[in-house]
Structure formats: structure tokens, C-alpha cells
Structure 1
Amino acid sequence: MSEWFHAEGSRQVGPVSAEDMGELFRGNRIGLDTLVWREGLPAWQPLRTVVEELGLTAVPAATAAANVPPLPPVPPGSPPAPPSSAAPYAGARALPMQAQKKPLSGCAMTAVIGGAALLVLVPVCAILAAIALPAYNDYTIRAKVAHSVAALQPLQVQVAEFVNREGRCPTRADPDFPAHDHYTGQGLSSVQFGQFENDHCGIEATLAVGESKVDGDLLWQEYDPQASRWECSSDGADKYLPVNCRD
């Protein structure tokens, strides 16, 4: 199968097959005056002189010979030299060359997938953080408050024994009862002993756990001698209190 070249300006285009030459001609991308060459031709020739060989519409050879000036011969087997830009040819255009797309490399694919994952994960993580962080902070505060409440349990035994023995409520002035600031290291800025308005004896403590949401809240432990039972209450928010101290 012959390989053909055709001229475009001062440069040559090819090789292309005879079938491709026919497609170029029928698509008006080369014309009858376009210079062409294949191995075996003595020189560049206008397309009109080889239309029969290519199976295209024939033109009289005499007309072709009369209208086309002779071109320098080309040695057999050697690549054709580009024709002069002054040589007459009509409608010749180079075949459109489309750059071959390179497939994405493994690193590029990883970057694309990673970027898409980030677009999904970042909003999800932000939503989870907006939900989880406040919940975790509340849990931390509840744990600190629970620790402070637990620090009062030994005092409950001491108060109950005093009431049963003395028949009255203890005060800070009674022996063996700690000073009001004795429990500052356990999240309580002040601890008071005395009698409540309902005549129950008990403990009043002020929270100081290092959290602004609860520091300064009052915590009450009331002892009912008739039922030998303790009740816990507070003026703080229920969500930070132990279950037994909530309203």
C-alpha cells in the first residue's frame, strides 16, 4: 500500500494512505492543484495528475501538463523535499492533529479521590464537632460536680450522728466539724452547717469546680431525722447535677 505526502505551504504532511487522500479530497481539504508525492514518483505532482491512481475524478492529462510547471526530480526512495511556497495549489490544509490525552497517573487519581473525600469529610467533621464538643463539655462539668457532691458524703454521716446524739443541728462552731473553706480543693468554695426552714438539719455548699456555668451555684444536703433520709437539691441547672440532686 502506497504512502502519500501532500504539501501545505512550505511543509509536507504525511505519510497517509491512498484512502485517506481520497477522504481529504472529498472533504475539500486538498484540491486538484495540491502537490502530492509518493515513493516512485520522479517529483512532486499536482493531485490532478494522479487522480486515476487514487480513484478520484479524472482530469485530462494534457490540461494538467499544460497548467503545471515541472518540479525538480526526487531520487527514488528518498523522503520528498518540501515544495516551494510559490508553487500553485488550492485548498490544501493540514490534517487536524489532536493531542493524545494522557491517562491520569496513580498519584493524580489519588489526589482527585482525596480531594473529593475532603469535600465530603470536612463538612461532616464540622457537624460532628458542633454536636460532640458541647456534649463533651457538659459531661466534663457533670463529672466535676459529681466529685464535689461525693466529697460531702462523709459529712452526712457526721451530721446524722450529731443530730441523733445532741438532738439539734450542728454548726461550724461545734467541735470536729471542718471550717467553711476546708473543701476548696474538692470543688467547694464554702461548706456551712445548720438548720433549714423546714427544720431539717444539713449542709449548704457552694460549687467552685473551675467552670463558669456552675461556679457559685448552691448545693443543699438535707437530713430528715424522722425518716433517717438525706435529700439533695440545688439552684443550678439540672443537666450538670447528679440525678438524685435534680428537681
Structure 2
Amino acid sequence: MSQWFYAEGNRQQRGPLASEELIALYQSSRIALDTLVWRDGLPQWQPLGSVADELGLVIAPPPAVEPAPDAPVLEPAVPTPPRIPGFDTPEPRNAVPGPAPAYAASPAYARIAPPPKKTSGCLVIGLVLGIGFLVVMGILAAIAIPAYNDYLHRAKVANAVGIVSQLKNQVTVFAMDTERCPVNGDDGFQSPTSYAAEYVGAVRIGRFGEDKCGIEMEFSVPDKRALDGKMLWFEYDMQSQEWTCSSDLDTKYVPAQCRG
């Protein structure tokens, strides 16, 4: 249902009113057909008579005046609209000759602006909550994505180390049988690059020191500088027959069994 406003004396707006209330004011002669009215959607204030059809306002025709006997019938004079003291009535551009309607030239009409539209409180609250949600989600994403990527790298490093560590038993058996450390190319041991796999660039097998054999694993992760080219070592002591593990990886990527 449209909400209407009307200008009282063309100087002060009243409303909002329902269509029926506006019609009742007209029928009680409190407003006239030239009273300025406005609703949301109209570009400017309009005289009541111009929106009568929209309101459903029935305008009764003026009573006919019978001319006096033998009186000459004269053309009705066009009334000149009253001027508001202190204001001029400009002639509109491209206007049809003749007097302009009072409401179109009235400075008071120009001063009456449509009521400002009120912003819904629910809309404001919704906008605030929406912006807050996006900010929180952005912060969580900034924290979660790097953490998830680190988790993936740790899992793949651990998988690669687990595969290479299977060589430890082979090195132990060879050292016990031959009393020396195996090297790449010995029976059962391939070249360093033949062990290349995901996250593994090369695996070197040889002697690390007096009575110590070793497996050196080189990481190959081109898109991760913290991993690419780093080393992990399995060292076997032939005297104690024990294995130790060390690495120059960042601690967060080093498998638990290789942390000091």
C-alpha cells in the first residue's frame, strides 16, 4: 500500500497517509485538487488532481450554470493564478502560451523535497554481519592454508623417508657378510639417481667413517625451498650394530625418529 504525503499550504508536508485517508481529506475539503502530494516512486510533487485515477478519487463535475434570459453568452475568462508575495513566476521554457498552473511556478513547491528514504535497521545489521564474516573467514584462511600445506609436506617427507629406510636392513646384512660398507653399484645396490621418487632426488650409499656405513638421502622439492636440496642421513655403527638418523631439514619437517 502506497504511503502519501501532502503539502499543507505548500509550505509544510504532512504524512504519511494511506490512500483512503488522503481521499477523506479531499472529501472533507481540507485539501483541494491543486494540493501538492507525493509518494515513493514519484519524481516530484504532483497536484492531487493529476493522481486522482491512481488514488481512485472520484472528482464530481462542477454544477452547470444556466445563463440568464436574453443575456449574451460570453467566453469564460481564463483566471490569472494568484501570485505569492515576494516571488516571481518564471515562464517555463517551451511552454504553451497562457497562464501557468500555480503549483508549477510556486517557489514553495520547489522548496518541498520528498521525504528521505529510511534505511532498514535489518539491512544495516546484515551488512555488518556479512562484512564481519568475510573478515573472520579471511583470517582463518590465512592461518589454515599455510598450516595445511606444511602438514602435506611433512606427510610426504615421512613417506619418502620410510621408503628409503627399507635399505637399512640390506646395508646391515651386507656389512655383516662382507665386513665392509656397501656402495652404490655393489650387488643389490643401484646408482644414486635410480632411487629417485616423489620428494627423493638421489640416495647415496657408502662409508661415513671408521666402522660406520651410511645412507644419504637428498630431497628434491623444487617448489619448496625449505625442502629442496636438503639432506637426511641414516648412519650404521658396525661395532654396536645400531642405526642413528639426522637431517638438516627444518625441525617441523623432520620425522620423529630423526630428531635428536
TM-score > 0.5, shorter chain as reference: yes
User: Larger Cα Rg: Structure 1 or Structure 2?
Assistant: 1
Counterpart selection for 2:147 from 129, 135, 138: 135
Deviant stretches of 4+, over 2 Å: 84-88, 96-104, 111-114, 209-212, 224-229
Q: Counterpart of 2:209 in 1: which secondary structure?
A: coil
85 and 151 in structure 1: CA distance in 2 versus 1, 3 angstrom threshold: same
Among all aligned residue pairs of Structure 1 and Structure 2, give the percentage whose two residues are the same amino acid. Answer: 39
In 2, are the aligned partners of 1:206 and 1:218 still within 8 Å (CA)? yes
Q: Counterpart of 2:192 in 1: which secondary structure?
A: coil
Inter-partner Cα distance in structure 2 for 1:101 and 1:186 = 64
202 and 87 in structure 1: CA distance in 2 versus 1, 3 angstrom threshold: closer
In 2, are the aligned partners of 1:148 and 1:186 still within 8 Å (CA)? yes
In 2, are the aligned partners of 1:184 and 1:190 still within 8 Å (CA)? yes
The Cα offsets for residues 41-87 of structure 1, whole Å up to 9 and x where unpaired, read as: xxxxxxxxxxxxxxxxxxxxxxxxxxxxxxxxx99xxxxxxxx7379
Q: What one-letter code is carried by the residue in structure 1 that aligns with 2:213? A: C
Q: CA deviation at 1:162?
A: 0.7
Does residue 196 of structure 2 align to residue 184 of structure 1? yes
RMSD: 3.8
Structure 1 match to 2:137: 125
Structure 1 match to 2:127: 115
Superposition pairs of residues 146-225 of structure 1, within 5 angstroms = 146-197=158-209, 199-210=211-222, 211-225=224-238
The Cα offsets for residues 99-136 of structure 1, whole Å up to 9 and x where unpaired, read as: 597784xxx94x54432122212222222222222212
Q: Counterpart of 1:212 in 2: which secondary structure?
A: coil
Inter-partner Cα distance in structure 1 for 2:232 and 2:83 = 106
Q: Which runs of 5+ in 2 are unaligned?
A: 1-7, 15-27, 30-61, 64-80, 86-107
Q: Counterpart of 2:197 in 1: which secondary structure?
A: helix
**Aligned pairs, number:** 167
| Structure with more relative contact order (C-alpha pairs < 8 Å, separation 6 or more) | 1
Q: CA deviation at 1:225?
A: 3.2
Superposition pairs of residues 79-90 of structure 1, within 5 angstroms = 85=82
In 2, are the aligned partners of 1:207 and 1:218 still within 8 Å (CA)? yes
217 and 100 in structure 1: CA distance in 2 versus 1, 3 angstrom threshold: closer
In 1, are the aligned partners of 2:211 and 2:238 still within 8 Å (CA)? no
Q: CA deviation at 1:201?
A: 0.9
Mean Cα deviation higher: 158-167 or 208-217: 208-217
Superposition pairs of residues 61-80 of structure 1, within 5 angstroms = none
In 1, are the aligned partners of 2:200 and 2:219 still within 8 Å (CA)? yes
Q: Which runs of 5+ in 1 are unaligned?
A: 1-6, 15-37, 40-73, 76-83
102 and 202 in structure 1: CA distance in 2 versus 1, 3 angstrom threshold: closer
In 1, are the aligned partners of 2:232 and 2:248 still within 8 Å (CA)? yes
98 and 171 in structure 1: CA distance in 2 versus 1, 3 angstrom threshold: closer
Q: TM-score, normalised by structure 2?
A: 0.53
Superposition pairs of residues 52-63 of structure 1, within 5 angstroms = none
In 1, are the aligned partners of 2:196 and 2:203 still within 8 Å (CA)? no
195 and 99 in structure 1: CA distance in 2 versus 1, 3 angstrom threshold: same
Superposition pairs of residues 224-235 of structure 1, within 5 angstroms = 224-235=237-248
